[in-house]
Structure 1
């Protein structure tokens, strides 16, 4: 059974982010906390957006659907087909959000309305699409069943607090599917769940992507999550993309020292080592980036050039982009960067 709700007239093509820049006020004035981020979301594929806390990954995802602080200045392009959502206006963004593009939030306990039953919350979206009350109730039960909630016909009458954490997240996913979206933005959807439930939710997202022909953006700080489900990987550091490419290629052979450090810090992901190598230092502050490469204070292989010149994100090999001055050398050798 497919959980897709017929959407009538739908926008064609991929969802493309181009040179996204988000400026926020900080202690020293306005700062680009997201700086020139670009990537594509393609039907049937999961794009992973990964980085440490404060890297700008969640802000990037939320900006795609207009959910940014009022003080933010956003520029660049978010292209739904040929339409730039950043210039489309608030009314159009509200129309797109939940229909063309839906969001699965990190904490369903705050995203779900505690005073309404799960069925009523899903049904509210369905009724806004023209279904009668009885049709919406039946369709809501179908959607809950589609996301793996047992006894869905009866559970539609349950309230969020009557669900476990994993079941609340499944209900949140059903809510996201109710508008018949083409694109799903999942912001840390498994962070609050135990490992076993995490795996089940990730498997569910993968199944829904395939069965409903969705494109997904998965935001996470957890490399294990990305290795489980991502087809493509966008690695962010201090508000910028430092590496981009196919997930398997990026994880097996990183072309940026930050990505390399992330992989080495998770032994189950790194193909050559069973010993974790913790990432030293603290993440760069996007409001006070160091000169040159923002990763240079934490990079054990940084040279003088890294401390003065900002490396451009460029194609190193087909489908592989890196923002490291020495990425070409890394691509030709078994090491990731030259060692002093």
Structure 2
């Protein structure tokens, strides 16, 4: 059985300078892996490389495999690649000029569903991620919803794409505590039984990128700590927080305790990198 996501020796460079240097990890289906690090550690750049969304001036090398299939790092991922992103700003993933229901129906129609079946499944997906007024949401534009509602719509959109790998890049950072809790509940549903509505029983794998250790501790099974574009420590989430080994990890944990859960951007990494 292949892992849902396999990353080997990932390197990202800008004009010959290594920004991500030799990152390797694997994610099984149903597993939630936290990618931790202070601002500037390379977390979002790693996500961009996996999603094929690097700036044109940057180059990537290494091996990326999704569901046992090798995927070129140089190409932007199509909807059929098996990997989907949820970004910190949900507006970046949604078209403000198209009703949300229509946006949800597009990948379902691409999968072969009829118009009525796609609409019905889109409604079910919205309900599954905690949207109470699904019918009204289907007819709404993105500018008419709150940030927490939009994040849940984006999770429903990821479900509609039937992806087995989800990259969630700081999906709760800009939300209030109530919206954050609802989004995490929806993400839990995604990783535990995300494809039951799509008539698949396979849980999804999730790379959860965050600077909030409190959220990571409550949500993720395993963790990687990234410093200056390199993995400095990895292991079970709880063990890493209770018994950090690397000095950088210890510093992040101490900073998180002092800052009530979040890693400050000024936390000092072994050397500089680009976020």
Q: TM-score, normalised by structure 1?
A: 0.72
Per-residue CA deviation, residues 150-169 of structure 1 (Å, 9 max, x unaligned), is: 12123211111111110010
User: Could you tell me which residue of structure 1 aligns to residue 228 of structure 2?
Assistant: 238
Q: Within 5 A, what are the aligned runs for 1:70-81? A: 70-81=56-67
User: Could you tell me which residue of structure 2 aligns to residue 67 of structure 1?
Assistant: 53
Is contact 1:102–1:177 with CA below 8 Å preserved after alignment? no
Q: Within 5 A, what are the aligned runs for 1:166-185? A: 166-185=148-167
User: Could you tell me which residue of structure 1 aligns to residue 75 of structure 2?
Assistant: 90
Shift of 1:144: 0.6
How far apart, in 1, do the equivalents of 2:138 and 2:186 lie? 19
User: Could you tell me which residue of structure 1 aligns to residue 41 of structure 2?
Assistant: 55
Give the 3 Å change call, closer, same or farther, for CA 126–54 of structure 1 in structure 2.
same
How far apart, in 2, do the equivalents of 1:153 and 1:228 lie? 32
TM-align CA RMSD: 2.5
| 2:126 pairs with 1:139 | no
| 2:112 pairs with 1:130 | yes
Is contact 1:202–1:229 with CA below 8 Å preserved after alignment? yes
Q: Within 5 A, what are the aligned runs for 1:1-340? A: 13-25=3-15, 30-86=16-72, 90=75, 93-97=77-81, 100-212=82-194, 213-267=203-257, 282-283=268-269, 284-286=271-273
Give the 3 Å change call, closer, same or farther, for CA 158–276 of structure 1 in structure 2.
closer
Per-residue CA deviation, residues 105-132 of structure 1 (Å, 9 max, x unaligned), is: 1101222111011101111111111122
SS at match of 2:53: coil
Give the 3 Å change call, closer, same or farther, for CA 151–72 of structure 1 in structure 2.
same
How far apart, in 2, do the equivalents of 1:12 and 1:116 lie? 37
Q: TM-score, normalised by structure 2?
A: 0.88
How far apart, in 2, do the equivalents of 1:277 and 1:208 lie? 26
How far apart, in 2, do the equivalents of 1:189 and 1:278 lie? 17
How far apart, in 2, do the equivalents of 1:278 and 1:154 lie? 39
Is contact 1:234–1:245 with CA below 8 Å preserved after alignment? yes
Bigger relative CO (Cα 8 Å, ≥ 6 apart): 2
Is contact 1:169–1:189 with CA below 8 Å preserved after alignment? yes
Is contact 2:211–2:263 with CA below 8 Å preserved after alignment? no
Give the 3 Å change call, closer, same or farther, for CA 216–268 of structure 1 in structure 2.
farther
Give the 3 Å change call, closer, same or farther, for CA 175–235 of structure 1 in structure 2.
same
Give the 3 Å change call, closer, same or farther, for CA 279–143 of structure 1 in structure 2.
closer
SS at match of 1:267: helix
Per-residue CA deviation, residues 15-42 of structure 1 (Å, 9 max, x unaligned), is: 11111000013xxxx2110000011111
How far apart, in 2, do the equivalents of 1:268 and 1:48 lie? 20
5+ long unaligned stretches in structure 2: 195-202
How far apart, in 1, do the equivalents of 2:231 and 2:191 lie? 25
Per-residue CA deviation, residues 180-224 of structure 1 (Å, 9 max, x unaligned), is: 111111011011101232122112211321122111000111111
